[in-house]
């Protein structure tokens, strides 16, 4: 939970760092940029890996695939139609647009990808990556489970245990 709290502050700070972001403040801070480098997104991938390990404790691969398809997909679709459009709208206003949100939103429904259109997953890219990586990993996870490899028991334990033993478990 703390990692997601950090994520909120991270994205709020993106407005003030010197590198690119969708919405920028005219004044930026190099110091803030250096601090934010310590709170980068690999932490979220690690936490997601923990979720995979915990999920595999209780599920077969088919159930895991169904769960990993719907749990990220539904929030992603919702976000692409409800959460991201206001961000794109504010971007457009910042670049000089003068239309209302009611005039803007039908452009989202045309499903033309941003930046040419107004349809995007924008800052929800992590959810899309999580969905794709989880589904793409299923054949490898199945092979590891079915092969009797020394790595297989490690997949269902705490991920730190897996990481600390990976040199002795990988084929």
Tell whether 28 is covered by a domain.
Answer: no
Average model confidence (pLDDT) across the chain: 78
Where are the strands (E) in 21-78, listed by range? none
Tell whether 44 is covered by a domain.
Answer: no
Residue-number span of the structural domain to which 109 is assigned: 60-158
Tell whether 122 is covered by a domain.
Answer: yes
- Cα separation, 84 vs 124, in Å, equals 8
Tell whether 11 is covered by a domain.
Answer: no
pLDDT at 41 (0 to 100): 64
The total number of structural domains that make up the chain: 1
- Cα separation, 106 vs 104, in Å, equals 6
Lowest mean per-residue pLDDT among 13-17, 33-37, 67-71, 112-116: 33-37
Mean pLDDT of 63-68: 87
Tell whether 17 is covered by a domain.
Answer: no
Tell whether 50 is covered by a domain.
Answer: no
User: Is the CB of residue 108 less than 8 Å from the CB of residue 86?
Assistant: no
- Cα separation, 18 vs 34, in Å, equals 10
Tell whether 54 is covered by a domain.
Answer: no
User: In terms of C-beta distances under 8 Å and separation of at least 24 residues, what long-range contacts does 107-115 make, across chains too?
Assistant: 108/81, 114/88
pTM surpassing 0.95?
Answer: no
**Facing residues of 113 across strands?**
119
Lowest mean per-residue pLDDT among 38-47, 52-61, 108-117, 119-128: 38-47
What b/e sequence results for 153-170 when a residue is b if at least 16 CB atoms lie within 10 Å of its CB, and e otherwise? Answer: ebbeeebeebeeeeeebe
Calculate ∠ Cα 81-107-22, nearest 5°. Answer: 70
Identify the band that residue 88 occupies on the pLDDT scale cut at 50, 70 and 90: very high
Tell whether 167 is covered by a domain.
Answer: no
112: left (phi over 0), alpha (psi -120 to 50) or beta: beta
92 or 8: whose pLDDT is higher?
92
pLDDT at 77 (0 to 100): 94
């Amino acid at each position: 939970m703390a990692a997601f709290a950090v994520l909120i502050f991270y994205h709020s700070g993106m407005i003030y760092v010197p590198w690119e972001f969708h919405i920028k403040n005219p004044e930026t801070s190099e110091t803030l940029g250096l601090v934010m480098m310590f709170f980068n997104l690999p932490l979220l991938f690690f936490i997601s890996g923990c979720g995979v390990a915990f999920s595999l404790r209780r599920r077969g691969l088919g159930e895991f695939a169904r769960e990993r398809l719907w749990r990220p997909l539904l929030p992603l679709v919702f976000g692409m139609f409800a959460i991201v459009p206001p961000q794109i709208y504010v971007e457009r206003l910042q670049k000089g647009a003068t239309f209302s949100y009611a005039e803007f939103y039908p452009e989202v429904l045309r499903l033309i990808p941003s930046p040419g259109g107004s349809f995007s997953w924008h800052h929800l890219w992590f959810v899309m990556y999580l969905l794709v990586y989880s589904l793409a990993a299923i054949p490898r996870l199945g092979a590891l489970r079915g092969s009797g490899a020394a790595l297989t028991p490690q997949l269902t334990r705490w991920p730190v245990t897996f990481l600390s033993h990976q040199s002795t478990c990988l084929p």
